[in-house]
C-alpha cells in the first residue's frame, strides 16, 4: 500500500469510527443509568436519516438546519419511546425491559416499512459534503479527501465536547452521574429521575440521528432496516470500550471504524467479511477483558 492510500484509508477509518462513537454513546448512556440495552437505538438512527431526507427534499431550509431540526425531532421521539415502552416497566425484571426493547426495535422497523416503503431511497447528499479537497505533498503525492470524511470527525469532536460540558458542569449532568453510580440513593436525595432519564434518551437519540444523517451522506441509500447492522456494530463498540463508560464508547467506536477500514484496505480478500470483523473483535475482547477496555468489574447485589 502506498503512503497516499494509507493516509486516505486512515482518514476514512477515523471518519467511520467517529460515526460509530456517536451512536455508541447512546447505548452506553442509557445502560449507565438504567442498566438497559436499548436495542431500538439502531432504529432511532434510521429514523433520524429519514427525517433529514424529507426535510432536504422539501427544500425549505439549508442542509445544516435540516440536519439540526431532524436531530431534534428524533430526540423527541427517543423521549417518547422511553415514556411509552420503558418507563412503565422501570420496576420490572431486567429481562422484561430487554424484551420490550427488542419489541420496540421490530415495531419501528415494520413501521418504517409501512410509512416509508420498502423501496430504497437515494439520500440527497448536500453538494458541500460531496466536494473533495486535494492535499499536495512531496512525500506521498496528492492526497484526495472527501469533505464528508473531514467534516464527520469535526462534528463528532464538537458534539463530544458539548456533551462533556453538559455532564461535568450542569445540574442535569451531575444528576446523570449520580444515577449511574447509585440509582436508588440518588433518587432518595431528590434527583428528578424522570427528567434525567428523559434527557438521557433525548441526548442519545439526538446523537444517533446526527450519526444516521452523516452515515447516509457517506452511503446514500435509505431503507427501513438501515440501522440494524450499524446499530449492532455500535453496541459492539460500546461493549468493547466498556459498556457504561463514555470514554470507552468513544474509544471503542474509533477502534472499530479504523480496524474495519484498514483491514479491508490491507487484505482486500476480506471485503466480504467486513461486518464479521466487528464480531471477531467483540469475541476477542470478551475473552481477554470481559468488562471492556475502560469498564470496571461490578458485582451484582443479591
pLDDT tens per residue across span 119-152: 999 999 988 888 888 777 666 667 777 888 889 9
Domain assignment present for 295: no
pLDDT tens per residue across span 74-133: 999 999 999 999 999 888 888 898 899 999 999 999 999 999 998 999 999 988 888 888
Residue 271, exposed/middle/buried by CB under 10 A (0-12, 13-18, 19+)? exposed
pLDDT tens per residue across span 205-245: 999 999 999 999 988 889 999 988 988 999 999 999 888 88
Alpha-carbon torsion 109, 115, 121, 123, what sign? negative
Domain assignment present for 64: yes
Separation of alpha carbons 244 and 92, rounded Å: 21
Separation of alpha carbons 17 and 152, rounded Å: 10
- Chain centroid to CA 57: how far? 24
Q: From the DSSP assignment, how many helices (H) and strands (E) are in the chain? A: 12, 4
pLDDT tens per residue across span 165-205: 999 889 988 998 888 888 888 888 888 888 999 999 999 99
Owning domain of residue 21: 3-288
We report the CATH number of the domain holding residue 75 as 1.10.3470
Domain assignment present for 253: yes
Residue with cell 442542509: 63
Separation of alpha carbons 192 and 194, rounded Å: 6
Q: Tell me the three state secondary structure of residue 135.
A: strand
Domain assignment present for 115: yes
How many domains is the chain partitioned into structurally?
1
Separation of alpha carbons 45 and 77, rounded Å: 11
Residue with cell 439549508: 62
Question: Do 239 and 292 touch, CB atoms closer than 8 A?
Answer: yes
pLDDT score recorded for residue 1: 62
Domain assignment present for 296: no
Separation of alpha carbons 82 and 71, rounded Å: 17
Element (H, E) at 221: strand 221-222
Q: Tell me the three state secondary structure of residue 125.
A: coil
pTM: 0.89
Amino acid at each position: 500500500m502506498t503512503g497516499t492510500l494509507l493516509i486516505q484509508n486512515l482518514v476514512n477509518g477515523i471518519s467511520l469510527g467517529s460515526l460509530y462513537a456517536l451512536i455508541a454513546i447512546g447505548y452506553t448512556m442509557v445502560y449507565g443509568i438504567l442498566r438497559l440495552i436499548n436495542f431500538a437505538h439502531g432504529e432511532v438512527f434510521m429514523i433520524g436519516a429519514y427525517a433529514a431526507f424529507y426535510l432536504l427534499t422539501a427544500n425549505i431550509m439549508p442542509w445544516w438546519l435540516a440536519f439540526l431540526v431532524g436531530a431534534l425531532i428524533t430526540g423527541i421521539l427517543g423521549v417518547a419511546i422511553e415514556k411509552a415502552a420503558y418507563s412503565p416497566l422501570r420496576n420490572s425484571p431486567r429481562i422484561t425491559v430487554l424484551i420490550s426493547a427488542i419489541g420496540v426495535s421490530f415495531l419501528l422497523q415494520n413501521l418504517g416499512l409501512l410509512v416509508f416503503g420498502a423501496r430504497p431511497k437515494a439520500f440527497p447528499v448536500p453538494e458541500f459534503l460531496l466536494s473533495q479537497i486535494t492535499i499536495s505533498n512531496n512525500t506521498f503525492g496528492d492526497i484526495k479527501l472527501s469533505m464528508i470524511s473531514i467534516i464527520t470527525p469535526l462534528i463528532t469532536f464538537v458534539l463530544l465536547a458539548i456533551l462533556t460540558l453538559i455532564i461535568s458542569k450542569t445540574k442535569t449532568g451531575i444528576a446523570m452521574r449520580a444515577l449511574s453510580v447509585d440509582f436508588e440513593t440518588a433518587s432518595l436525595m431528590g434527583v428528578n429521575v424522570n427528567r434525567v432519564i428523559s434527557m438521557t434518551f433525548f441526548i442519545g437519540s439526538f446523537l444517533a440521528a446526527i450519526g444516521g444523517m452523516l452515515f447516509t451522506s457517506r452511503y446514500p441509500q435509505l431503507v427501513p432496516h438501515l440501522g440494524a447492522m450499524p446499530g449492532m456494530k455500535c453496541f459492539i463498540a460500546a461493549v468493547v470500550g466498556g459498556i457504561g463508560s463514555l470514554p470507552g464508547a468513544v474509544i471503542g467506536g474509533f477502534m472499530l471504524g479504523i480496524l474495519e477500514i484498514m483491514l479491508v484496505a490491507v487484505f482486500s480478500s476480506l471485503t466480504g467479511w467486513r461486518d464479521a470483523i466487528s464480531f471477531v473483535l467483540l469475541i476477542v475482547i470478551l475473552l481477554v477483558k470481559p468488562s471492556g477496555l475502560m469498564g470496571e468489574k461490578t458485582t451484582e447485589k443479591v
